[in-house]
Amino acid sequence: MQEKGNSEPAFRRVWSDLRSQILNHEFDPDTALPTELDLAQKYSVSRQTVRRAFLDLVARTLSSGFPEGVRS
């Protein structure tokens, strides 16, 4: 799903924001990420859109290795 006037898919916006927050250590490593429902409400998207962003983050991490500083 895309917003009017925005050529970037909604899942990509969620993915990009989550990736940035992870790389900038904005999430406490001892705490779970926000739920799909919480993120769906925050970004005004469906839970499926958030799930797709999560799955893409995992797939990219597994295929390219963990970014420096993200490993525990």
| pLDDT of 3 above 60 | no
pTM as predicted: 0.73
User: Per the structure block, which two tokens stand in for 31?
Assistant: 């705490």
* pLDDT tens per residue, range 54-69: 999 888 876 666 555 5
* pLDDT tens per residue, range 7-24: 889 999 999 999 999 889
Q: What is the DSSP string of 38-50?
A: HHHHHHT--HHHH
| Residue 43 neighbours by CB under 8 Å, 6+ apart | 10, 13, 14, 17, 49, 50
End-to-end CA distance of the chain: 34
Instruction: Tell me what the pLDDT averaged over the chain comes to.
Output: 83
